[in-house]
Structure 1
Amino acid sequence: MTRNEQIITDFIAAWSRLDAEELVQFFTEDGTYHNMPTRPVSGRAALTGFIAAFLKDWSSTQWEVLNLVSNGDVVIAERIDRTVVAGKPVDLPCCGVFEMRDGKIAVWRDYFDMGTYVGALKA
């Protein structure tokens, strides 16, 4: 496993602790998270608020990594995010593309079907 792959593996594992402050420490100061169905969010302060906003309704999350590949400073993690949101289980297939800089996430783009997420909450 490369250093960048290990950092992303650690980042994915950190989500189970539901701590926005911890999660943003994986990003560069100017890091960007682009949750593809929404607009990108940049900078640690903005990221903290953005991540905390959707964590507030989560009671647990475990992300299963299906495939993890890298090429230099790019890491791709195909996963299933298994989350309990407002008491409802959501199993969300995702693919995250991470651009790394000096051991931190500079850009994270997450691709998934918003309909799958919303549909699980309505069930």
Structure 2
Amino acid sequence: MSAENGQLVTDFCNAWSRRDVDEILSYLAEDCFYHNIPMKPCVGHDRIRKFIEPFLKGAQSASFDIKHTASSGNQKGGQI
């Protein structure tokens, strides 16, 4: 795993703690496929925003407990 890819994933996960939807979306490609099971998948920034914004507005906090990170290949443009 490249250190840059691992750091990108960690930074993305940490962005959720600030509950800033614009910051979170900045880590995702415009045509990102986001699937929070068991909900229906969302594709693209607009739909992902509509999905996660209500969760974050109602949350007092959001965080990930990262146990392991793995990556393959190179990410372009610093996006996941």
Shorter-chain-normalised TM-score: which range?
Answer: 0.7 to 0.9
2:67 — aligned with what?
66
- On the 8 A contact 2:12/2:24 being kept in 1, the answer is yes
1:36 — aligned with what?
37
Could you tell me which runs of 5 or more consecutive residues in structure 1 were left unpaired when the two chains were aligned.
Answer: 74-100, 106-123
Equivalent pairs, count? 78
TM-score, normalised relative to structure 2? 0.84
The one-letter amino acid paired with 1:104 is: Q
More contact order relative to length (CA 8 Å, sep ≥ 6): 2
Q: How far apart, in 1, do the equivalents of 2:3 and 2:33 lie?
A: 22
1:104 — aligned with what?
79
Could you tell me which runs of 5 or more consecutive residues in structure 2 were left unpaired when the two chains were aligned.
Answer: none
Q: Give the match's secondary structure for 1:65.
A: coil
More strand as a share of residues: 1
Q: Which has the larger radius of gyration?
A: 1
2:8 — aligned with what?
7
2:18 — aligned with what?
17
Runs of 4+ in 1 over 2 A off after TM superposition: none
Identical residues among aligned pairs (%): 37
Question: RMSD value over aligned CA atoms?
Answer: 1.5
Q: Deviations over 1:46-96 (max 9, x none)?
A: 1111110211210012322111122225xxxxxxxxxxxxxxxxxxxxxxx
Residue 10 (structure 1) shift: 0.3
Q: How far apart, in 2, do the equivalents of 1:44 and 1:61 lie?
A: 19
